Chain A
Amino acid sequence: MNEFYTLTVNGRDHEIADAWLGENLLYVLRERLGLIAAKGACEQGECGSCSVMVEDRLVCSCLVLAASAVGTAILTVEGLAEPGAPTDVQQAFVDAGAVQCGFCTPGLIMATHHLLDRSAHPTEMEIREELSGNICRCTGYGRIIEAVQQVALARREAKS
Chain B
Amino acid sequence: MAGSILGNRVLRKEDPKFLTSGGVYLDDLEDERLTGAVYVAYVRSQVAHGVISSIDLSEAVEMPGVIGVFTAASLNLAEVPSAFNPAVTRTYLATDKVRYVGEPVAAVVAETYEQAVDAAAMVYADIDALPALVDIEEAMASDNLLYEAAGSNVVFDTTALGLPENTGGEFFADCEVVVEGRFINQRVAPCPLESRAAAAAWVDGRLIQWLSTQHAQGALATIIAANGLEASQVRIITPDVGGGFGAKIGTYPEEILLGRLAKEVGRPVRFRETRSESMMALGHGRAQVQYVTIGGRRDGKVTHYRMQVYQDAGAFVDMGSILAPFMTRPMASAVYDIPNIEVRTTSVVTNTTPTVAYRGAGRPEATAAAERAMDMFAAEIGMDAAEVRRVNLIPKFLEPHTTAVGQTYDVGNYEVAMDKAMQAAGYAELRVEQAARRASGNPVQIGIGVSVYVEITGGVQPMGEAAKIEVHEDGSASIYTGTSPHGQGHDTSWSMIASEQTGIPMDRITLVWGDTDLVPVGGGTMGSRSLQQGGAAVNKAAIELVEQARSLAATLLEADEADIVLDTDSGNFHVAGTPAVSTTWADLAVAATTNADFPDGLTHETRFEASGATFPFGAHVAVVEVDTETGKVRHIRHVACDDAGRVLNPLLLEGQIHGGVAQGTAQALLEEVRYDSDGNPVTSNLADYAMISAAELPSFEVVHMETPTPINPLGAKGIGESGTIGSTPAVQSAVVDALAHLGVRHVDMPTTPEKVWKAIAAASN
Contact = CB atoms under 8 A, between A and B. Distances in A.
Q: Are A and B co-members of a single complex?
A: yes
A134 B654 CA distance: 21
A128 B695 contact: yes
A38 B25 CA distance: 11
Contacts, number: 179
A97 B699 contact: no
A96 to B, nearest CB: 9
A77 B697 contact: no
B274 A43 contact: yes
A124 B695 CA distance: 10
B487 A138 contact: yes
B694 A36 contact: no
Instruction: Name A's interface SS.
Output: loop
B655 A42 contact: no
A132 B694 contact: yes
Contact of B488 (A95, A100, A131, A143): A100
Contacts of A94: 11-12, 15-16, 19
Contacts of B263: none
Interface string A10-34: 0000000000000000000010000
Contacts of B59: none
A63 interface: no
Contacts of B765: none
The 7 closest A-B CB pairs, nearest first, are A37-B22, A102-B18, A103-B242, A140-B662, A101-B487, A140-B658, A100-B487
Given A39-B242, A102-B18, A46 B686 contact: yes
Contacts of A144: 694
Contacts of B241: 101
Nearest to B650: A97
A145 B25 CA distance: 25
Interface in B698-730: 699-700, 723
B193 A47 contact: yes
Most buried by B among A100, A137, A140, A141: A140
A139 B663 CA distance: 9
Contacts of A138: 193, 243, 487, 655, 659
A44 B275 CA distance: 9
A139 B659 contact: yes
A86 B685 contact: no
Interface residues of B, number: 55
16 contacts: A36-B24, A39-B193, A39-B194, A40-B27, A41-B195, A44-B686, A77-B20, A99-B18, A101-B486, A103-B242, A105-B18, A105-B19, A132-B695, A138-B487, A142-B658, A144-B694
A99 B243 contact: no
A83 B20 CA distance: 8
A99 to B, nearest CB: 5
Given A78-B20, A90-B20, A94-B16, A42 B694 contact: no
Most buried by A among B14, B22, B660, B685: B22
A154 interface: no
B245 A137 contact: yes
A104 B191 CA distance: 12
Contacts of B11: 94-95, 97
B520 interface: no
Given A99-B12, A100-B487, A42 B685 contact: yes
Nearest to B195: A41
Contact of A103 (B12, B194, B700): B194
A60 B661 CA distance: 27
B692 to A, nearest CB: 8
A144 B662 CA distance: 13
Interface residues of A, number: 52
A49 to B, nearest CB: 6
A77 B19 contact: yes
B506 to A, nearest CB: 14
Contact of A36 (B28, B245, B487, B662): B28
Most buried by B among A39, A42, A80, A144: A42
Contacts of A95: 11
A102 B27 CA distance: 14
Interface in B15-57: 15-25, 27-28
Contact of A128 (B14, B659, B697): B697
Contacts of A104: 193
B19 A100 contact: no
A83 to B, nearest CB: 7
A116 interface: no
A115 B397 CA distance: 50
B87 interface: no
B533 to A, nearest CB: 21
Given A41-B194, A100-B487, A140 B697 contact: yes
Contacts of A132: 693-696
B687 interface: yes
A86 B686 CA distance: 31
A134 B27 CA distance: 20
B1 to A, nearest CB: 27
A136 interface: yes
Contacts of A124: 699
A135 interface: yes
A93 to B, nearest CB: 6
A78 to B, nearest CB: 6
Given A97-B651, A100-B488, A128-B694, A90 B19 contact: yes
A43 B12 CA distance: 30
Nearest to B691: A135
A86 B21 CA distance: 11
A80 B20 CA distance: 8
A81 interface: yes
B242 A42 contact: no
Given A44-B687, A46-B686, A99 B274 contact: no
